[in-house]
Structure formats: structure tokens, C-alpha cells
A and B are shown apart, each in its own frame.
Chain A
Amino acid sequence: MIRASKKEKCTFHFHNTTVNIFVGLFLSVVFSNHTAKSKKTLAKPGVKNIVLVDGVRTPFLQSGTIYADLMPHDLARAALQGLLNRTGLPKDAVDYIVYGTVIQEVKTSNVAREAALGAGFSDKTPAHTVTMACISSNQAMTTAVGLIAAGQCDAVVAGGVEFMSDVPIRHSRRMRKTMLSLNKAKTLGARLSLLGSIRLAHLAPELPAVAEFSTAETMGHSADRLAAAFGVSRLEQDEFALRSHTLAKKAQDSGLLSDVISFKVPGKDIVSKDNGIRPSTMEQMAKLKPAFIKPHGTVTAANSSFLTDGASAVLIMSEEKALAMGYKPKAYLRDFVYVSQDPKDQLLLGPTYATPKVLEKSGLTLNDIDVFEFHEAFAGQIMANLKAMESDWFAQTYMGRKTKVGAPPMEKFNSWGGSLSLGHPFAATGCRLVTTVAHRLQKEGGQYGLVAACAAGGQGHAMVIEAYPQ
């Protein structure tokens, strides 16, 4: 699986996780007893097998903490370097790099290229940046899949970065207009008259909002309405959030989060753990006031994902190439779909729409899936999706389907924590989901995994992942 890394600092850590994974594999092979699948494999004749070789991520930290003084490409570089270290990949073996980001740092608008150059990739490797809100790195990965499937590339690095400790805050439109005109003003008089036109109000800055441009509604507000629409109670949400934190803590403590790399932050210590995992008690959570719909809403800081800094990266190859280079891939990346719906009232229902669609595409049923990894934007959003997936009425009325797809069994669902607890750096989450599915399939011994996520704009994504035969 791993070409042993020869890098100094991280060796010990890597060996540790390697051991854990092998133990896990052994256990799952011995104990698991899986039911028969609708399909033995999702390999299709005449279609190239595309594999996930490995995936890593920086620790996900609450924004404004240890990463606070970095820039987005610094984090992205750390993830890319981590991937190189983990895989021992020769730098010039990568054909292409695709990277996702949501809130763009204007200085590094093609953050993929800036990060790749600094991470020591060959300057002959082209890189581009994609954006699709919280499924940006899913888009990066499927772009990679497309490049390989089309025969244009053999090895592509995909990933995503989000840096919420610093976001672009702009001058007001009026001020910008004045400043831009100032550049063109030729005479001193013209300049002075422009300067004289500046009013105090023009100096008020424009702050970016996590709000839909089309509806001007913040995502938390929409999540609260969604939860209410599906009758999700505050209690259910708090319980689910607590579950996420508890499972994440357990996973962290037992070393299951092996995709996390250690990162020496310039001027600070080495960071090697996510810092947002905080299992609380139901009593404490119940004390919080609603964050968006006041005073009667149900979405609180404790049952929402928090603003996070972090980056992730995966190495995707054609199976042939991976084998030729001596890799043992972790998983096959199979069918995927993107969906979109009403950004006002169905903003966060992407998983509900995407799940049945991708299952249909791959010829599987919900029962065939051993491992589910859904992006947890809000506990209320997850619970609403689960209820929607359980509803024949919803499937018939809004999705044009005959029956419901059914909700995933909880024992297979996000069992190593999720975005609520691990954190959610928007554009980095997709790779974490896919890598986690691969790791869980290895650890728990299943064959098929399913990733699903919602995203701003009322969009969604799902992908089926098949374990690589051991």
C-alpha cells in the first residue's frame, strides 16, 4: 500500500497509523460477514478503472487558531507536500493538479498553481482551481477522474483548501469606483475633486457573508427552516451533534484518522490533531441559544459545523499506472453524480437527491452500501435529509420517483465523526469524505461506500467507492 516514506519528521507517526490500518484490515477480514451484493464489482468492460492511491489532510483547525497567520496556499502546500511524503511519489510523475477553494484569496486566485509550485511539484505540471461551494474538492476529484477516463492523464492530484481565518473584505462599491477613477485622473484638480467626493459612508467595508447570493439567506437560516420543514426537533439535532463529536473523539483516540498529517506551522508548534472535536453533554448543549432564527429556532453553534481552516489532497491514478508504479491502491472511484435543486427551500437537500440517482446509475441498492460518509453541514440538515430519504411522499412529490430510497442505517453512517466535529473547511471536505470511505472500507471490511454532500447554490454530489481487493 505504501511506499515507505523516507522523510524524517513524520516517519514514526506514519508507521503507527500503518500498523493500525493493518490490524484493522486483519480484524475486519476475520470478523465481518457481509451479505450478498447486487453486483460483484462496478468495473465495466471497456471502461478504465480509476483508483484512489492515497489521501491526506492537514489537521482541521477552528479558524482563528494556530493557522491564523498563514495564507490559503500555505495550507494547500502543506497538504500537497504531505501527499508527496505519504506516497513517496516522484514529483514529476504527476500529470496535472486540480484544487478546490470557495472563498478566494484574491492574490492567489489560482491557488492550485501557487501551492503546487511551493510544494515542490515540477513547474512543468499544470494546475487549475475549481469552485463549487462545499463540494469543490469533489469537483476537483471528479475532474481528475474525467481527465484520466478521457485518456489525457494517468496521475492527477486533487484536493481543496479553505482558510476562514482571513477572508477578503472589500471597500464599498462607491469607494472602489472612486479609487479606480483616481488611477485614470490626469490632473491634480481632477484627483482632488475625486478625493473630495469621498463620503464617510463610502468607507464602510463590504463583509463577505456565508449567504446565498440568489436569495440573500444565510445557510444557517436555511438549515433551520429545513429542519422545521421536516419536523426535526432541537433534541434530535443536539443528539446527532453529540454523536458526531463522540464518534470523532473515539476515532481520533484510537488513531483511525490516519489521513491527518502533521504540519509544522511556521513560527508555531507541530500540529497533528483536529482541534474542534469536543464531546459535550446534552444539558450543556441545551443551554445554547439559537444562532440564526431567534428566538424560536433550533440550529445552534453546537449543532452546526464551525468555521474551519484546512486543506486536503488525494492522488488519483488509472489502475494500470498505479500498479505499474508499484502502488497498492486503496479504492476504486466509481459512479458519481451532481444534482441541483431550489436554492431557497431545498438548499441543503443534495444528498437526498444525489443518493438514489447514483445508486441507480451504479445498479446498487442502499443495502449494498457498507459505508456511508455524508457531509454534516448542520445536524438539522442531516436529520432532514434522512427523513426526506425515508419519505415516499417526498420522493413522489418532489423527486419524481416511485418510492423512497430509504435512510442509511446509523451503524454504517459517519462512524468516525463528521464535519460537525472534525470541522468543515469548505473546499477540503470532499477529499476527507472519500479518503475516509476508503479507510473505513479497509478497516471495516466492506465492499461499497457512498459519499454524499450538499453545497451552497442548492447543489449536491454523490459518489460510489469500491474497496480495492486486498
Chain B
Amino acid sequence: IYEVKDNVAVVRINDPTSKVNTLSRHMQAEMVEVMNEIWGNAAVKSVVLISRKPGCFIAGADINMIQACKTAEEVTSLSQEGQKIFDQVEKSPIPIVAAINGSCLGGGLEFAIACQYRIATKSKKTILGTPEVMLGLLPGAGGTQRLPKMVGLPAAFDMMLTGKNIRPDKAKKMGLVHQLVDPLGPGLKSPEERTIEYLEEVAVDFAKGLAGKKVTVEKKKGLVQKIQDFVMGLPPVRKQIYKTVHSKVMKQSKGLYPAPLKIIECIQTGIEKGNAAGYLTESQNFGKLAMTSESRALIGLYHGQVTCKKNHFGKPERDVKKLAVLGAGLMGAGIAQVTIDKGVATILKDTTEEGLARGHQQVYKGLNDKTKKKSLTTFERDGIMSLLSGQLDYRDFENADMVIEAVFEDLSIKHKVVKEVEAVIPPHCIFATNTSALPIKDIAAASKRPEKVIGMHYFSPVDKMQLLEIITTNKTSKDTTASAVAVGLKQGKVIIVVGDGPGFYTTRCLAPMLAEAVRALQEGVGPKKLDSLTTGFGFPVGAATLADEVGIDVAAHVAEDLGKAFGTRFGGGNVEVLKMMVQKGFKGRKSGKGCYVYGAKSKEKKVNSGAEDILKSFKLTAPPAVSADEDIQYRLVSRFVNEAVLCLQEGILPDPVQGDIGAVFGLGFPPCLGGPFRFVDSHGADKLVQKMKRFEEAYGNQFTPCQLLLDHAKDSSKRFHK
């Protein structure tokens, strides 16, 4: 398993059962065995630790191993085993060099920082980080103790609390790695293979240097570093930092996420009370966190996301090599951007030159911002832009493999577009419609080939929002679906595939919640209060702000359409409030005014007094029995959740996993709750039904729990997630 080259033991990590290396029980045991053998081999003077997998050093600990544990104590002992191994690595009598190419995350990074020396390739795939916090956990194998000493307190907090990925250049600057190695191009072997070989050669040289004391681990500290070290040596300064970080975390997480607070505690204990206490706190906190519902929810989302990044409809008959987007508005341009970004030639068609120029600029800006962040070179940007053809006519549509229309949400316009496009596209070309509420079968009614018609509902802004909701009608062919999913995956989306109906899944869940939000506003809950109630529940964006972002006009449109389709269940707030706001020009952020006023520079958002006046004129009296803060929160959430469960009951949703992913990634349902279905599981369907019954008494059928929810309430063994 290891080879000795010139007194250097080269250990090559390779998990044959997986595409990535993870720190499983098996691998840990094997590692201990190999290291003990190496330490016992007098001929070995130093060690190189490297992965044989091209894009991965060690991607982290095995999540399943943690999930399999039943108690906090079990997880704590897992953590302590990891701590023990890495402690031995840290105290190794001979230097160990970690040679990193590809992802070095979580437990992988903790392993690497226990080594005496780190060399990383500058490959785009090389990332270092501690993403545990995103799974509601913390670095439980010494990470909270070693990182602050290595990169300093502020950087360590930043890494562990955000879980962000660190690129090689940054890692070198931070002192996280000692040397960088450039990735190689074609040679006598494939670039990937040769780059790993080269990394190993360089690492072996350094290992020899370290063993022969020709290379020193300590690097000279600059003045800034010395000053920082001095300042951090002052207990009052550290105290202030803990305080600031703590209050920042509380402000951002509303106290809904336990992991960041536990991370702060671990770091603080280690620094203020010494190693032994620090390691103990780390392992105990790790155990506690693993048992929290938040961690289960976040891990559930992680697994769900993995599932939703696969094409379950097979390989499409033909690849989409040329895509055409109709309408260069916010959505159309966004779709074009994420498509050319992945190397697919795209036509962006609009009806006016102004519209086209705006859309073109949006795409350019999106890519140019990436060059500013250095994730793209200007040449790559230009090359990507060259794939975009902005035009006003239907030229070259005869070569399109897929058309996505993102024109105005009006059925007659959509029908006109379907007919125009079908006259110019080839027979195999798929017609996808990006609508947020119009039923796809109604749009497909104008088509000569409904089997090629599908819904692709993107979320705004397209280049930032990960979700894509694909809607199939009963006429949509499987190959059409496979092709739409393939395109979406190429665009980097997380995909849910749902059935057709007014509002599909996502819009249908959001609409009742927004209707309830409007009612709350009418009842005198101010926009700011409403926002703080919703963010306090875990929504990343408050309900009033969300309405402004979506657009009051869109909300009005959807509320009216879905109100017609679903009747009083979608009632609550008065649609006229929204219509009146639109009439006054309060269309949300895009028009500068909505619930709030959007000034160019003001930091603090001001409530739009014009909107307040409208709300006053539609004032309702709040029934005191269901108007406590918590009641308002549950009124909003329960309507969302009930509608989601109803979608599953009606077969719009194929399974709870896609329901959770769609709600969290598309609508910002609180990630700490894991989505509406996991929320029902963890909160208890019975408790939720009880609350809804109370609301039902005050308001009527908007709060009538659906049958599936009632079934779950009756039988507590019924769960959406196993």
C-alpha cells in the first residue's frame, strides 16, 4: 500500500469502492495500520501522503458513518478516535507531507493540517475547506483546535463558520499550505495523471528536504503577521472577538442553527483553556450536534441535492448542442448565461433592440463579474460570450435542438410564440416554456407536437438560484423529459420533475403563504414585523421582501390565476391590495417601490408609505386568538406545508425528497427545517394539524389539513422520510 522511494514512504490513498476518498472506518483502520508500519520502518525518513484520484484528495468524513450512530456518545467516540489518529500524525517522529490535488475538505483537511507540511496543486479542482457547518456539524477531528493556530483566529472563524471553499492561492497566502504546484498540460501521459505524478515528485523532494533539514516548516512572519499575533495574544482583544463573532452569528442565524455557536465554543475553549479541554469540548459538541434535528435536516438536504443532480430519465436521444431562448428579459438572459457558460451555443431572441441590448448586457455583466472574482479569465469570458447570438429574427432556428421561451406570462402571447417557433424549428427540437404558473397543457394546446412540449421553471436570478422545476404533461415524452433534465444538469441546476397543474409545485406552495402574508399585512402587521417573523422562523428572505423581489405584479397575477383554479383555499389576503399597489406603480424592487422604497444608496430599507395607505384602506381586524407572533408564523408556514403535502397527495410531486429540495432551493424554505416534509416529520404532523384546526376555526377552509397530512397525524409511525 505504500512504496519507499529514496527513504521516503509514499502512501497513495485510493478508495476502490467510490469516486471519492472519504474517511470511513475502514480507511481509518487501514491508515493506522500503514502508518504504524511506516513508523516501524527504520529505512523511512519521511512520508508523502497523496491521493490517486484525479479530482479528490479526501472529500471528508463518511457521512453515513455518522448517520449510522444512534447516540451522541457514539459520535463523540468516533470524533475521539479521529482526534487520536491525527494527534499521532501531528507528533510523528518523521515529517509527513500532504500532497493535495482536488478536494481536501472536512476530515480531509483536518488530516492534512495534522501533517507537518502541505503542498497543493493550483488545479481548479483543488479546494480546501471545512464545510461541516453546512451539515449542522463541526470539524470534529481536531480541526477546531488546529486551524486557529495555523491561520489565526479571524481566518479560522471565517473558514469554519461559513464552510467556504478556499482556493489554492488563497490557501498559500493564509498559511494553510506551504507550497503550490502548477497543474500540467499534455505530455507523455494525460494531464491529470501526469499532474499527480509531478505533485508526488515535488512532494518527495520536499519530504527529503524536510528529513535532511534543508527545508524548514516555519516561514518567516511579516510585520503585519507579527502585529496580528501580538494583538491576538491580548486576552481582552480575544474576548472582544468572541463577542463580535457570537453576535454576528446570532444575527445571521437567528439562533436557529446550533453548529456555529458550538464551533465558537470549541475554539474559545481550546485557546483559553488549553488543548485537553479544547479537544474534549470538540468531541462532545460534535456528538451533540450529530443528534440535532437541524443537522439531520441539513444532511437530508445534502443527500436530496445529490439525488436531484442525476438524470433519472435516461440518456436523451440527442444532445442539445444549440439552444434558443425567446425573450431577453431577466429570465431569458439568465437562462442564456448559464447555458453558454457551459459551452452550449445559444441564440437569444427578443422583439426589440432595446430589450436585446439589455439582455446582452446582463449576460456580459454576469460573466464579467466572474472575471473580477478571478473565477474566469477575460479570455474565457470572451470565448463564452462568442457562443451567444443576440438577434431579433428567427435566423438559425432551423438548427436549434431546444427552444426555451421566456416571454410575457400571457397565454395568448405564448400561443402565438408556439406557432411562430414551430414553423421554423426542426422536427426533433424541444419546446420548453419558462412559466411560473400557467399550466403547460394549456400552452401545449397550441402545439402540433405536444410530446415535445415541456415546462422549465427557472428561478430568479437564474445564475444564482440553484433550482430548476421541470413540468411534464401527460403528453410529454420521456425523451423530451430526459433532454430537459440533461440541459438543466448541464446548466448546473438542482432539478425536481413535477406534474402539470396550476402553479405546479413551487408556485402553488408559495401562493397561499403570500396570501396569508397579505392578510397579516391587512391585519396591521407591518412589513418589517412580517419580515422579522418569517426570517425568525428561518426563511432567508422575509415575506414582504420576498413579495417585492418576486414582483407585486407577478404576485397579483399568480394570486388571481391560482385563486380562480383553487377557489377559496387560496384566499386570505385580498387580491385587490396587490392590484391596487400595481396600479400605483408599486411593483416591487424592479420599480423602486413595493412594500418598501428602494433608494439607490440608503442602507436601511424604508417602508413605502403609499403601500401602507393602501393596506389601511383594506384593513382587517386581527382575531386575537390566532394573532400572536408564533401564530402568525405558523399560519404562514402551515399553509405552505399543507399545500406541499397536498401536491404529494395529488401526485404533482413524485416524492417528498423533491418536495423538500424544491421548497428549500427554490423558495427559501428554512434549510434548518430541511423542507416541508422533513418539517412535518420532525415537528409532528399531529401538532401541526392541531394548530391548523385552531386557525381553521378563525379563518375557514384555508387551513383545512389535507387528507395525507391527517393520515400522518393519526399514525405517528407514518413518516415522509425514513
A interface with B by C-beta (< 8 Å) = 214-216, 221, 224-226, 228-231, 293, 295-296, 342, 344-346, 384, 387-388, 391, 393-394, 397-398
Distance in angstroms between the alpha carbons of A346 and B187 in the assembled complex: 9
* A229 to B188 CA separation, bound complex (whole angstroms): 7
Interchain nearest-CB distance for B426 vs A (Å)? 30
Given contacts A229-B194, A296-B181, contact A346 B186 (CB under 8 A): yes
Assess whether A214 is in contact with B379, with CB atoms less than 8 Å apart: yes
Check if B187 sits within 8 Å of A397, measured CB to CB: no
Distance between Cα atoms of A388 and B187 in the complex (Å): 7
Contacts of B185 in A (CB 8 A): 225-226, 229, 342, 344-346
Instruction: Indicate if the CB atoms of B182 and A225 lie closer than 8 Å.
Output: yes
* Interface presence of B198 (CB below 8 A): yes
Min CB distance, B521 to chain A, in Å? 49
Further contacts, 9 of them, CB under 8 A, given A296-B179, A388-B187, A393-B188: A216-B377, A225-B184, A228-B182, A229-B185, A230-B188, A231-B187, A296-B202, A342-B185, A346-B186
Known interface pairs A296-B202, A296-B205, A345-B191; A229-B186 also in contact (CB < 8 Å): yes
Task: Check A397–B179 contact: CB distance below 8 A.
Answer: no
Q: How far is the CA of A346 from the CA of B377 in the complex (A)?
A: 18
Mind listing 28 A-B residue pairs with CB under 8 Å? A214-B377, A214-B379, A215-B377, A215-B379, A216-B377, A225-B182, A225-B184, A228-B182, A228-B184, A228-B187, A229-B184, A229-B186, A229-B188, A230-B187, A231-B188, A293-B182, A295-B179, A296-B181, A296-B205, A344-B185, A345-B184, A345-B186, A345-B191, A346-B186, A387-B187, A393-B189, A394-B188, A397-B186
- By a CB distance below 8 angstroms, the chain A residues around B198 are 228-229
Residue of B nearest to A387 (CB): B188
Chain B window 367-403, contacts with chain A (Cβ cutoff 8 Å), 1 for yes, 0 for no: 0000000000101000000000000000000000000
Taking the nearest CB of chain B, how far is it from the CB of A253, in angstroms?
37
Q: Determine the distance from Cα of A303 to Cα of B189 in the docked complex, in whole angstroms.
A: 24
Pick the residue among B181, B186, B379 that contacts A394 (CB under 8 A).
Answer: B186
Chain B residues, CB < 8 A from A225:
182, 184-185
User: Complex Cα distance A34/B205, Å?
Assistant: 47
Number of A-B residue pairs having CB atoms within 8 Å of each other in the complex? 59
Complex-state Cα separation, A229 to B191, whole angstroms = 7
- How far does the alpha carbon of A394 sit from the alpha carbon of B187 in the complex, in Å? 7
Which residue on A lies nearest to B194, using beta carbons? A229
Q: How far is the CB of A353 from chain B (nearest CB, A)?
A: 12
Closest B residue, CB atoms, query A349: B186
Which chain A residues border B187 with CB–CB below 8 Å?
226, 228-231, 384, 387-388, 394
A398–B191 alpha-carbon span in the complex (Å): 12
**How many whole Å from B619's CB to the nearest CB in chain A?**
55
- Which of chain A's residues have a CB closer than 8 A to the CB of B202? 296
**B residues within 8 A CB of A293?**
182
Could you say which residues of chain B place their CB within 8 Å of the CB of A221? 182
CA distance A59 to B604 in the complex (A): 71
For the complex, give the distance between the alpha carbons of A355 and B206 in Å: 38
- With a cutoff of 8 Å between Cβ atoms, the chain B residues found around residue A214 in the complex are 377, 379
B141-194 contacts to A, CB under 8 A, are: 179, 181-182, 184-191, 194
Q: How far is the CB of A7 from chain B (nearest CB, A)?
A: 50
- Total count of chain B residues near the partner, CB < 8 A: 18
Q: Which residues of A contact B184 (CB under 8 A)?
A: 225, 228-229, 345
Whole-angstrom CA separation of A221 from B202 in the bound complex: 16
B373: min CB distance to chain A, Å: 16
Q: Is B186 a contact partner of A398 (Cβ separation < 8 A)?
A: yes
Asked whether, in the complex, the Cβ of A391 is within 8 Å of the Cβ of B379, the reply is no
Smallest beta-carbon distance B202→chain A, Å: 5
Kindly report which residue of chain B lies nearest to residue A224, judged by CB atoms.
B182
CA distance A467 to B267 in the complex (A): 78
A216–B181 CA distance with the chains assembled, in angstroms: 17
A215 to B383, CA, bound (A): 13
Question: Nearest Cβ distance between residue B117 and chain A, in whole angstroms?
Answer: 13
Q: Chain B contacts of A229 at CB under 8 A? A: 184-188, 191, 194, 198
**Across the two chains, which residue of chain B brings its CB closest to A226?**
B185
Q: What 10 A-B pairs come out closest when comparing CB atoms?
A: A345-B185, A229-B187, A229-B184, A230-B187, A214-B379, A296-B202, A228-B198, A225-B182, A398-B186, A391-B188
Q: How far is the CA of A161 from the CA of B391 in the complex (A)?
A: 46
Nearest chain B CB to A419 CB, angstrom units: 22
Q: Which of B187-225 contact A (CB under 8 A)?
A: 187-191, 194, 198, 202, 205-206
Complex alpha-carbon distance, A344 and B183, angstroms: 11
CA A394 to CA B190, docked complex, whole Å: 9
What is the distance, in angstroms, from B38's C-beta to the closest C-beta of chain A?
Answer: 24
Q: Which residue of B lies closest to A292 (CB)?
A: B182
CB-CB nearest in chain A for B205: A296
Cα(A228)–Cα(B179), bound, Å: 16
Say how far B382's CB is from chain A's closest CB, in angstroms.
9
Contacts of B188 in A (CB 8 A): 229-231, 387-388, 391, 393-394
Separation of A449 and B184 alpha carbons in the complex (Å):
33
B65 CB → nearest A CB, Å: 37
Q: How far is the CA of A234 from the CA of B377 in the complex (A)?
A: 31
A residues in contact with B182, CB < 8 Å: 221, 224-225, 228, 293
Name which residue of chain A comes closest to B182, CB basis.
A225
A296 to B206, CA, bound (A): 9
Residues of A within 8 A of B191 (CB): 229, 345
**Could you tell me the distance between the alpha carbons of A385 and B29 in the complex, rounded to whole angstroms?**
46
Best-surrounded residue of B187, B190, B191, B206 (most CB of chain A within 10 A): B187
Closest residue of B by beta carbon distance from A232: B187
Nearest to A397 among chain B residues (CB) is: B186
Tell me how far the C-beta of B203 lies from the nearest C-beta in chain A, rounded to whole angstroms: 10
A391 to B189, CA, bound (A): 10
Q: Please measure, in the bound complex, the distance between the C-alpha atom of A236 and the C-alpha atom of B367, giving whole angstroms.
A: 43
Give Cα distance in the complex from A216 to B376, angstroms.
12
B291-312 vs A, CB cutoff 8 Å, 1 = contact: the mask equals 0000000000000000000000
**What is the bound-complex CA distance between A215 and B377, given in angstroms?**
8
Q: How far is the CB of B199 from chain A (nearest CB, A)?
A: 10
Measured CA separation A255–B181 after assembly (Å): 45
CB distance from B339 to the nearest CB of A (A): 24
CB neighbors of A among B48-89 (8 A) = none
Find chain A residues with CB under 8 A from B194 CB.
228-229, 231
- Complex contacts, A216 vs chain B, CB 8 Å: 377
For A397, the chain B residues whose CB sits under 8 A away are 186, 190
List chain B residues, Cβ under 8 A from A391: 188
Most chain A CB within 10 A, of B179, B182, B194, B206, is at B182
Cα–Cα distance between A144 and B402 once the two chains are bound (Å): 50
Q: Which residue of B lies closest to A341 (CB)?
A: B186
Minimum CB–CB distance from A344 to chain B (whole Å) comes to: 7
Residues of chain B lying within 8 A (CB to CB) of residue A228: 182, 184, 187, 194, 198
Give bound CA distance, A228 to B186, whole Å. 10
Q: How many angstroms from the CA of A403 to the CA of B258 in the assembled complex?
A: 62
**Assembled-state Cα–Cα distance A431/B26 (Å):** 65
- A384–B188 Cα gap in the complex (Å)? 9
- Chain B residues whose C-beta falls within 8 Å of the C-beta of A226 in the assembled complex: 185, 187
Contacts of A230 in B (CB 8 A): 187-188
Candidate in B185, B189, B377, B379 with the most chain A CB atoms within 10 angstroms: B185
Q: Which residues of B contact A215 (CB under 8 A)?
A: 377, 379
Chain B's closest residue to A217 (CB) is: B182
A230 to B185, CA, bound (A): 9
**Chain B, 302-341, contact with A by CB distance < 8 Å: what is the 0/1 string?**
0000000000000000000000000000000000000000
Provide the bound-state CA to CA distance between A394 and B179, in Å.
30
Distance between Cα atoms of A224 and B182 in the complex (Å) = 10
Q: What CA separation (Å) do A391 and B179 show in the bound complex?
A: 31
Give the shortest distance, in Å, between B201 (CB) and chain A (any CB). Answer: 8
